[in-house]
Structure 1
Amino acid sequence: MAKRLPPLNPLRAFEATARHASLTKAAAELNVTHGAVSHQIKALEQSLGVKLLERAGQRVRLTPHGAELLPAVSTAFDGIAAATQRMTRPASAGKLSISCVPALLLLWMAPRLGSFTAQYPDIQLTLLPSNDARDIRAPHIDVCVHYGDGSWSDCWMRKWSGLELFPVVSPTLINNRPIRTVRDLADHVFLHGDDGREWHTWLAAADALDLERGRRHHLGDARVAIEAAVHGHGVALGDTVTASGLLARGLLVAPFSLSVPAVDDFYVVCRNEMKSAPIVQLFIDWLFAEKEQADSRADAPVAGRIGSRRKRPALRVIGARTGA
């Protein structure tokens, strides 16, 4: 059975009057007469059988019944306005705000901005380096590309990519201080982009947990750790998504043939109501298409990159002589 709702126009008159605390200002906003607004409110009060507003000099104020009704009415009108705006938002023009993991934004997305601009020259992007879960519900952010376990609630999400982790180091550093076996890592500084869990996972797979007691720096996020590695300040953990470009350009090398799954994955996340916006769907489709193209180009191994993951490999320097 359909729920009986009050007429729309009296609700609009009530909401505008309560918001302005003035019949005159409400009439001006709705482009009707003062008397018309008063009439609509009286009709709503008669329909509900309660008093919603009372006069206080030149102003009006909510009764307890009015105070109870106003939040629901305001929320409903805000939702209708937002949905209408999304439906009329152009698919290939306008502004789009993206929150993205800093390392992914700097090392993967930024180099591909030319591709997006070439396809959609009339879309203006605002890119925010962040992995803050609060961004998912922030009204000024349209889409998030975040790193996590996918446990965000009451939102739309889709896994964008898993990733494998492996040590990376600058060619200059490894030439000056060779890494021939995993034990040689003891002579280097460990660069952490997280709380230490990722290096712990890799060292456990390498049977070298005792090396955790070595020198180390905690740098806050993967982007800073990778940048420090590029400058020769230690050994960081790269991943199969963000480090591929640096490996291909020779700015980093991966000395071992061991990689391990990352603790979490990359997800595309947005508020449920944003998923239906055409411009948002366009960006999401582009993001997945670019990832598919990048994966197809990565089929051929890059020098110094992990070829495959093994459970308990014999760690060696890639390119080093064997059987000596």
Structure 2
Amino acid sequence: MNRNLPPVTWLRSFESAARHSNFAAAATELHITPAAVSNQIRSLESHLGFKLFIRMGRGVRLTDLGEAYMQPVSKTFAELSSATSTLFGTAGDRSLNIRCSMSYGALVLAPMLPQFHAANPDIKIQICSTVWAKAIDDDTIDIDIRYGDGHWDDRYIQKITSEYAIPVCTPGFKESLPGNISLAELAGLNNIEVLGSQYQWSNLFDHYGVNHDSSTRWITVDTTVVALHYTLAGNGCALVPECHARQMIDTELLVQTVEEKLPLQSAHYLVVARHADNSPDVKRFCNWILDLNKGPLQTLN
């Protein structure tokens, strides 16, 4: 720690007095007495070894050194204020802190959140993304959108919707294939795997009784976002949750390679933190996302 730094209370009095050019106005802003402001500034000047103000009959003005010092002090307080508001909100703010996977946040929430904001402009949203799901161990998280089997120890858990994995590719890649490709032919193509879900290709082929060779799966990535971008680059087919690919299919960036799809045992769930289960804004968000997926909200116990 730098022991040459003066106490923050002295700096606050200096910054306020410099901004108002008046000790009494600074005292009113800081909810202390003018004498306290004067004493703190005198202590700051003694600490620095230089005068910062020229005292006048009806106020004060900064010395040249005071002017030079005011700029970094004012900038530092502004940055601290901005960082505090951004990270922790301000008194009276209504905000929701939501954690979800990087893929769900980018591919599912991002296209939908403007609808929620339009209906709830008074609620601020902060998204915290993660790659691998885990229990909520952060008191700042209100809602966790978690992928898995739903067998967790959290108090409130509700499945958003049942899900399927579908094989997708670009329209150009599909057009390069001979005719209407079959699932058996798909098994022989360059297929992209997602780490943690690489078994899904085998499950898809096994589900429909198709022989397959895992050696054709030439690349493994760690998120669906990356898998879809490899797919968009024309590098083959990816097998991903349908909800992750839906916007790209709707905008014709991708197409479903074959009609077959794989029912998934895992799904995305709403997991509400204990400290937030009575929050009206949490209930509003949960109702909104479940309504989009046609699911009823269960009572938060």
Rounded Cα–Cα distance in structure 2 between residues aligned with 1:214 and 1:208: 15
The reply on whether 1:205 has 2:187 as its aligned counterpart is: no
Question: Gapped runs of 5+ residues in structure 1?
Answer: 1-88, 294-324
Q: Is the 8 A contact 1:131 1:146 kept in 2?
A: no
Match of 1:184 in 2: 185
**Alignment partner, residue 261 of structure 1:** 263
- Residue 186 of structure 1, CA deviation: 5.1
Work out whether residues 166 and 241 of structure 2, in 8 Å CA contact, stay in contact via their aligned partners in 1. Answer: yes
Runs of 4+ that moved beyond 6 A = none
1:172 pairs with 2:172:
yes
Q: What SS does the aligned partner of 1:279 have?
A: helix
User: Match of 1:64?
Assistant: none
Q: Residue 233 of structure 1: which of 232, 235, 247 is its match?
A: 235
Distance 1:96 1:103 in 2: 19
Deviation of the 1:169 alpha carbon: 0.8
Distance 1:255 1:157 in 2: 33
In 2, Cα distance between equivalents of 1:173 and 1:133: 33
TM-score, normalisation: structure 1: 0.58
In the alignment, the residues of structure 2 paired with residue 239 and residue 186 of structure 1 have an alpha-carbon distance, to the nearest angstrom, of 18
CA deviations 1:26-69 (Å, max 9, x no partner) are: xxxxxxxxxxxxxxxxxxxxxxxxxxxxxxxxxxxxxxxxxxxx
Contact 2:142 2:275 in 1 (8 A): no
1:133 Cα shift? 3.7
The letter of the residue matching 1:266 is H
Aligned pairs for 1:3-42 (under 5 A) are none
Using the TM superposition, give the Cα deviation of residue 182 of structure 1 relative to its aligned residue in structure 2, in angstroms: 2.8
Count of residue correspondences: 203
Is 2:221 the counterpart of 1:224? Answer: no
Aligned-pair CA distance for 1:155 = 2.6
Deviation at 1:254, TM superposition (A): 1.2
Following superposition, the deviation at residue 174 of structure 1 comes to 1.8
1: CA distance between counterparts of 2:200 and 2:215?
A: 15
SS at match of 2:255: coil
Task: Tell me the CA shift for residue 147 of structure 1.
Answer: 0.6
What RMSD, in angstroms, separates the aligned Cα atoms of the two structures? 2.2
Q: Does 1:280 find its partner at 2:282?
A: yes
CA distance in 2, matches of 1:290, 1:257: 24
Matched residue SS, 1:210: coil
Q: With structure 2 as the length reference, what TM-score do the two structures score? A: 0.62
Which structure 2 residue ranges, 5 or more long, are not aligned?
A: 1-90, 296-301
